[in-house]
């Protein structure tokens, strides 16, 4: 992760996705969670795809790439957010946060190794253990294990765990596509496909989903939704895919150790939420874990040798498509004259 632009992107991602926690919490108080997320992703996908089309950078995807794109989209969006929101009905929010945020970077590293996008790194694995401990300290006031004793609690725990695994699996699968077709195009496709699947899931599994589309939302839900579309998806999600491509899954996944700190800090500043000594210790451990993930072992990712080439490949494709579009526009202008 040597280029300064990647450091800046990483910090922006942590800030943006740290703030989205508050927006999500506000929105799902009055709107069914899956429907709230589905409409957000569908809108973001339409905007991103429209931008790609307007820029004449809409490449044709077929064959194995198309299959990979559909699978990655469903894993990253539909099969992540659906089980996550369902499982949170039976598991306390603090416990769910620790489980989901701890497993995300571990799963990214694991799938990265399995799919040839990462190499094993002892320091990074150690950092993830530190990060898990830090998350536990940070969310210790809201941790609750009594709800996990019943069948519903255990199934909810498994659903939340799967959401982290699903998101990581899809992210690693998408990496070659991002390098080949560009981050804007893949961001648009994955949010459209995944958001569509989540929309259908909401209609099936959320009894109030249809009513929520027919009833005006309150201004807090609308403001949160707009923030999630414009900032969380158009900016945050697009940057996340760029980092997956440019610095590798394990490094990009270390956002999970920083964004909760942003969320807790904002809660303490704006809402006056108390921050304990254990929480402060947790923050320090999580920042240490993120630093080790990013810089602890520079050659653990396939990205350390091939990131620039892959990024250039994706950029070259976008430029090539754009040039072809420019040529078509010039030819059309000559015919009109």
Distance CA 74, CA 54 (A): 26
Distance CA 273, CA 89 (A): 23
**Residue with tokens 């961001």, as numbered in its chain:** 187
pLDDT for the residue 298: 53
Within the chain, residue ranges assigned H as helices are 4-27, 33-54, 63-73, 79-87, 93-114, 122-138, 151-181, 183-205, 209-214, 219-227, 238-247, 249-253, 259-270, 277-295, 303-336
**How big is the chain by its Cα radius of gyration, in Å?**
20
Contact between residue 22 and residue 267 where contact means Cβ atoms under 8 Å apart: yes
Burial 215-231 (b: 16+ CB within 10 A, else e): eebeeebeebbebbbeb
pLDDT for the residue 229: 95
DSSP assignment letter at 146: G
DSSP assignment letter at 301: B
- In a 13 Å sphere around the CA of 231, the CA atoms on its Cβ side amount to 19
Contact between residue 248 and residue 302 where contact means Cβ atoms under 8 Å apart: yes
pLDDT for the residue 206: 92
* Residue 279 CA to its chain's centroid (Å): 24
pLDDT for the residue 303: 45
Backbone angles phi, psi at 305, to 5 degrees: -110, -30
Q: How confident is the chain (337 residues) per 10-residue block, as mean pLDDT?
A: 79 89 84 93 93 71 89 95 82 71 85 85 81 80 58 79 92 93 91 96 93 92 94 93 91 86 78 74 86 66 44 42 45 45
Distance CA 274, CA 283 (A): 14
- C-alpha angle with apex 254: 252 to 257, nearest 5 degrees? 150
What does the block give as tokens for 267?
Answer: 């809660």
* Residue 305 CA to its chain's centroid (Å): 24
pLDDT for the residue 55: 66
pLDDT for the residue 258: 87
Say what the pTM is: 0.81
Dihedral sign for Cα atoms in the order 39, 43, 46, 48 = negative
pLDDT for the residue 142: 61
pLDDT for the residue 201: 94
- Other CB atoms within a 10 A radius of the CB of residue 235 amount to 17
pLDDT for the residue 127: 82
- Other CB atoms within a 10 A radius of the CB of residue 5 amount to 9
């Amino acid at each position: 992760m040597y280029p300064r632009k990647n450091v800046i992107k990483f910090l922006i991602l942590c800030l943006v996705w740290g703030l989205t926690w508050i927006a999500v919490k506000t929105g799902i108080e009055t709107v069914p969670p899956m429907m709230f997320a589905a409409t957000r992703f569908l809108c973001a996908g339409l905007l991103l795809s429209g931008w790609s089309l307007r820029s004449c950078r809409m490449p044709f995807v077929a064959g194995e790439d198309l299959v990979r794109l559909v699978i990655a989209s469903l894993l990253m969006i539909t099969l992540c957010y659906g089980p996550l929101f369902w499982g949170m009905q039976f598991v306390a929010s603090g416990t769910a946060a620790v489980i989901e945020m701890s497993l995300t970077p571990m799963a990214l590293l694991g799938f990265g190794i399995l799919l040839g996008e990462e190499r094993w790194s002892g320091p990074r694995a150690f950092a993830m253990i530190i990060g898990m401990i830090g998350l536990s300290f940070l969310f210790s006031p809201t941790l609750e294990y009594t709800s996990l004793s019943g069948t519903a609690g255990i199934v909810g725990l498994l659903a939340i765990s799967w959401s982290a695994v699903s998101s990581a699996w899809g992210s690693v699968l998408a990496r070659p596509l991002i390098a080949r077709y560009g981050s804007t195009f893949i961001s648009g496709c994955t949010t459209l496909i995944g958001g569509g699947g989540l929309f259908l899931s909401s209609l099936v599994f959320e009894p109030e989903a249809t009513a929520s589309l027919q009833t005006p939302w309150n201004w807090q839900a609308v403001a949160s939704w707009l923030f999630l579309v414009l900032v969380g998806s158009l900016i945050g999600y697009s940057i996340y895919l760029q980092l997956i491509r440019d610095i590798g899954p394990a490094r990009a996944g270390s956002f999970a150790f920083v964004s909760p700190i942003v969320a807790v800090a904002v809660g303490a500043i704006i809402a006056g939420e108390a921050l304990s000594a254990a929480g402060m210790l947790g923050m320090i451990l999580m920042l240490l874990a993120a630093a080790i993930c990013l810089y602890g072992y520079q050659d653990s990712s396939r990205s350390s040798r091939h990131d620039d080439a892959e990024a250039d490949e994706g950029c070259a494709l976008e430029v090539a498509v754009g040039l072809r579009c420019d040529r078509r526009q010039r030819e059309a202008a000559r015919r009109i004259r």
